[in-house]
Amino acid sequence: MINAVDKTNRRLFFALALPKPLQQKIVQWRADHLPPEAGHPIAAANLHLTLAFLGEVSAAKAQVLQQQAGRISQSGFNVMLDDIGHWPSSGVVWLGCKNPPRGLLQLAQLLRSQAARSGCYQTPLPFHPHVTLLRGAVRPVALPAKTQNESFRGDHFSLYESVFARGRTRYNVIQSWPLTGSSKDI
């Protein structure tokens, strides 16, 4: 028998939240430095740094992933957004890190391997931490030479649900975990 689509599946991902004041600063900087025709701007409240994309996940699988996330013991780290780039194939203009902190890479690696073990497909592309600024940017974009070099403290990570309703995507936090583990501060 073919299984009916499980309507309780949710589109989930793990990410670092950006502090609200930083979201506002980035939106202002984007308006000042990127031409409006370059692509579709991501709403301030939706600016985040994805750690692991999980796809459409059942409630049971989400519970397992949440339990595993809760056992992660890592300390926080500073994320410096000092790089900007454009991936024309995916139409994404992003802010990123020239030298991502080790803690960020470790956290993403752990969440991705836990996700893969739970059967969530993980892209074979290397993890490139970034905050998506624009989507639909498929044409060449004149990028500013420099960013604002804003940084933020990654002191917690969250599981998000992506909800598309009335023509808009919203990211709702389902659960957050502190990064206050005992490993050496990075």
Residue numbers at the binding site for ligand 3AM (CB under 6 A): 13, 50, 53, 92, 123, 130, 132, 162
Write the DSSP symbol of residue 180.
B
Q: Name the one residue in this structure whose structure tokens are 């902190």.
A: 101
Residue 48 annotated as catalytic: yes
Contact between 84 and 91 under an 8 Å Cβ cutoff? The reply is: no
- Quote the least distance from Cβ 60 to ligand 3AM, whole Å: 21
Give 53 or 152: the residue with its C-beta nearer to ligand 3AM.
53
* Residue number, 58 or 183, with CB nearest to ligand 3AM: 58
Q: How far is CA 49 from the centre of its chain?
A: 3
Q: How far is the CB of 33 from ligand 3AM (least distance, A)?
A: 19
86 is catalytic: no
- Cβ at position 10, least distance to ligand 3AM in Å: 12
Q: Within the chain, what is the greatest distance between any pair of CA atoms?
A: 57
Q: Which of 157-181 are b and which e, b meaning 16 or more Cβ less than 10 Å from the residue's Cβ?
A: bbbbebeeeeeeeebeeeeebebee
Q: Which two tokens stand for residue 159?
A: 């599981």
Q: Which is nearer to ligand 3AM, 13 or 157 (CB)?
A: 13
Shortest Cβ distance from residue 146 to ligand 3AM (Å)? 22
In the complex with ligand 3AM, the residue whose CB is nearer, 13 or 77, is: 13
Catalytic, out of 48, 86, 128, 156: 48
Please report which helix (H) or strand (E) contains residue 117, including its range: helix 102-117
Catalytic residues: 48, 130
